[in-house]
Amino acid sequence: MLEQAYGTYDGSSSPAASDFGYGSSTALHLNLDAKGERARASASLEAAVLDGEATANAQAAPSDELVVGSATSGEPLIAGRVRTLYVKLDEDWISALAGRQVINYERGALWSPTDLYTKWDLTGLSPERLGVDALRLVVPIGATGRLDIAGAPTTEPAQGIYSARLSGMLLGVDSSLMAAREGAAGRVDFGADFKLDLEAGIYGNLIYSMPDSNSRGSFRAAAGADWSLGDFIAAAEYYYNGGGAAADPLFPDEHNLYADLTWKASQLLSLSGSTICDISGEAGKATILSSWSAAQNAVVGGYCVEAWSRSGWATQLGATLELLF
């Protein structure tokens, strides 16, 4: 269970009462698993009660969230979501998965152009990965390689996403090649990614998209590094989005930066700060988080989020309580 309460202020040169707001949410996450010798079924469910400005976040969440009530009524909302619900069959030479699942082709800390199937919920403090309704076959190749064939059909199968990805170790580098068809977007993709562990973890991924029309193709690419020094963990990443909003509606501008620094002050306390900068759009967001294990299975947190754009800025201050049972 996660409880969150926060206050907001939308910056303006002449503060008014309407610039201030309040919101809270109480969410319950339930994970269920059943395992056999060669079969597994898994489900991850979520329900939440929201009030104040948290109701607007629920209305802005991805469409797979079921919301009971209206944000304009002033009454608390009840929201629910099936995050994952799938079955998996394992044989020595192949694995098959069917249902709502997370297909993770992510390489970067924040941006991964080759991560085609991921849907994000950006209404919380940090991006949350959501499941996609898909079919998937994974065939092991040698000691480290595998062929991953996946498809996320829709009510019109031609509008779905279908891909084949070959991955493994090449000269000591964890790498992959991918080809995909995105029906709804009307394009074919060719991608590659790698990760190399030296003194720091260095990674990169790129994708080239060829539209069905006669217009020119486009590149999207991300590269970054993560490293640790004592009690500090740092990460930095650059993302180039040559496809515009049509290729990546979450990050429509060309040049973007991300940086994160976490301090493990003790076994019970950690502090972190991160920033996302849309360089082209002159916008961004900075977040400071604190997390304290107050008791067994109980984590208390506090945060401050500052967002800015050409039209102004906004601040959010809040506290969270997470109980695990």
Mean pLDDT computed over every residue of the chain: 87
Residue 148 is predicted with a pLDDT of 97
Q: How far apart are the first and last CA of the chain?
A: 8
pLDDT-wise least confident of 81-95, 100-114, 267-281: 100-114
Please give the biggest Cα pair distance in the chain. 67
Residue 71 is predicted with a pLDDT of 55
Q: Tokens representing 266?
A: 């003790």
Residue 20 is predicted with a pLDDT of 82
**C-alpha dist (Å) from residue 308 to 3, 122, 316:** 26, 16, 12
Question: How far is Cα of residue 180 from the mean position of the Cα atoms in its chain?
Answer: 20
Residue 280 is predicted with a pLDDT of 85
pLDDT-derived band at 74 (thresholds 50, 70, 90) equals low
Q: Alpha-carbon torsion 67, 71, 73, 78, what sign?
A: positive
**How far is residue 37's CA from residue 17's CA, in Å, rounded to a whole number?**
61
**Three-class secondary structure assignment of the chain:** CEEEEEEEEECCCCCCHHHEEEEEEEEEEEEEEEECCCEEEEEEEEEEEEEECHHHHHHHCCCCCEEECCHHHCCCEEEEEEEEEEEEEECCCCEEEEEEECCCCCCCCCCCCCCCCCEEECCCCCCEEECEEEEEEEEEECCCEEEEEEEECCCCHHHCEEEEEEEEEECCEEEEEEEEEECCCCEEEEEEEEEEECCCEEEEEEEEEEECCCCCCEEEEEEEEEEEECCEEEEEEEEEECCHHHHCCCCCCCEEEEEEEEECCCCCEEEEEEEEEECCCCEEEEEEEEEEEEECCEEEEEEEEEEEECCEEEEEEEEEEEECC
- Per-residue pLDDT of 239-272, as tens digits, reads 999 887 767 766 778 999 999 999 999 989 999 9
CB 302 within 8 A of CB 287: no
pTM of the model: 0.85
Q: Where are the domains of the chain?
A: 1-83, 91-222, 251-325
The label of the residue with tokens 């891909």 reads 163
Q: What is the rounded (10 degree) CA torsion for 138, 139, 143, 145? A: -70
CB 288 within 8 A of CB 303: yes
Per-residue pLDDT at 48 exceeds 90: no
Which is nearest to 314 in space by CA: 283, 292, 293?
283
- Per-residue pLDDT of 304-320, as tens digits, reads 999 888 888 889 899 99
- Per-residue pLDDT of 178-232, as tens digits, reads 999 999 989 999 999 999 998 899 999 999 999 998 778 999 999 999 999 999 9
Per-residue pLDDT at 121 exceeds 60: yes
